[in-house]
Structure 1
Amino acid sequence: MARKKREWYAGARYHIMCRGNHKNDLFLDKKDYQVYLNILKHVKKKLEYELYCYCFMTNHVHMVIETEKIHIGTIMKRINMIYSIYFNKKYNLIGHLFQDRYRSELIRDDRYMVEASRYIHLNPVKANIVKNPEDYRWSSYKSIIGLSEEKIINSQRILSYFKAVRNKESYREFVESAIKE
């Protein structure tokens, strides 16, 4: 049975999730995380997309991506194919690295955009890896709140939903208000 074709149009925004096959780890050391980030940068130059936020967990990846000219399937196929080749070669493996194809949720409104970004940035906190989201290295959270240099993301889209005078502080308050003590 054929899979349902993903909805796509110029300017479509997606909450993307890629999980390791059988929930296995996608990242086994720090270099693996860095390679995935470098692949995002490389593919971004070739296929032009906007990355608004991300979080790389050990066995899955979350991202918010907007596409203008290239179908999301083409972008994700390229990212995951390049990383799979790298990973399988490095660890002398064969077969599928990712479980099925990536999952995507079309972001249809601004509320879902900010909620998705909060959910993504709180993943390491909810998994009890860190107490505060800014302590997790493999996330865009620190870049969005201004604690590290922006290298790959476009934080202005998410920050535009908060008061211009204190948008970084307001976003931080929004995200961290969901942390349960």
Structure 2
Amino acid sequence: MSTKYKATTTDEAYFITITTIGWIDIFTRLNQKYTIVNALNYCQQNKGLEIYAYVLMSSHIHLLCKATNGFILSDVIRDFKKFTSKKILETIKEEPESRREWMLDYFQKSCQHLKREQNYKVWQDGYHAELVETNWFIKQKVNYIHTNPVKDKIVALPEDYYFSSARNYAGLDNDLEIIMLDLF
């Protein structure tokens, strides 16, 4: 498997994008958004994940982050995806979801071609990771992360989108704490 866009080094920061299979809008429901926020909180507290910027969109997540304390970022992301896949499916099955049958069918059909035994596929294989090497790159990616909901016309101002670190940088309440960078 190619390592071009993988977090293969330790203790370095990466810009990461994790996308749902078929770009399905899973994170339109508050319960699904909190599945992701809670899992990220867990990774911060138990798996050495440091998050500097993030945004949770309806079908993907952008993170500027790194793994610390001997953890390897690729392992943290793998575990995050595995856990959230199970939790997302559980939430779809147990809580109100008008698209339940369609989503479960899509997730099931998305793994029929796989050699390994798997019943449902929620996330696309792998993830896109770019190594952070310059302050310019950091500023560009943080701006990209924070303006994502603005570009999609969800909000007018980045800090108005609740599931984004733009709120942290603006000094507003947020359920996900981050390590703020002093670049602005």
Q: Is residue 73 of structure 1 aligned with residue 53 of structure 2? A: no
1:47 corresponds in structure 2 to 47
Aligned 8 A contact 2:7 2:14 in 1:
no
Task: Quote the offset at 1:3 in angstroms.
Answer: 2.9
> Do the aligned partners of residues 134 and 127 (structure 1) sit closer, same or farther apart at CA in structure 2, a change above 3 Å counting?
same
Counterpart of 2:84 in 1: which secondary structure?
helix
Gap regions ≥5 residues in structure 1: 163-181
Q: Deviations over 1:1-46 (max 9, x none)?
A: x333735334311111011101112314111111211111112222
Q: Is residue 113 of structure 1 aligned with residue 138 of structure 2? A: yes
Match of 1:161, as an amino acid?
L
Q: 1:6-21 counterparts in 2 under 5 A?
A: 6=6, 8-21=8-21
Gap regions ≥5 residues in structure 2: 94-103, 109-119
> Do the aligned partners of residues 47 and 28 (structure 1) sit closer, same or farther apart at CA in structure 2, a change above 3 Å counting?
same
Q: Deviations over 1:50-89 (max 9, x none)?
A: 1011100001111111223211110101111111001112
Tell me the distance in 1 between the aligned counterparts of 2:123 and 2:174: 30
Tell me the distance in 2 between the aligned counterparts of 1:83 and 1:7: 19
Counterpart of 1:11 in 2: which secondary structure?
coil
Regions of 4+ moved over 4 Å: none
Q: Deviations over 1:146-168 (max 9, x none)?
A: 1225742111xx2x223xxxxxx
2:150 corresponds in structure 1 to 125
1:22 corresponds in structure 2 to 22
Q: 1:117-156 counterparts in 2 under 5 A?
A: 117-148=142-173, 151-155=176-180
2:91 corresponds in structure 1 to 90
Aligned 8 A contact 2:50 2:178 in 1:
yes
- Identical residues among aligned pairs (%): 25
Match of 1:112, as an amino acid?
F
Bigger relative contact order, structure 1 or 2 (CA pairs below 8 A, ≥6 apart): 2
Match of 1:153, as an amino acid?
I
Aligned length: 158
Match of 1:67, as an amino acid?
A
More displaced stretch, 144-153 vs 44-53: 144-153
Q: Tell me the C-alpha RMSD between the 2 structures.
A: 1.8
Question: TM-score when scaled to structure 2?
Answer: 0.79
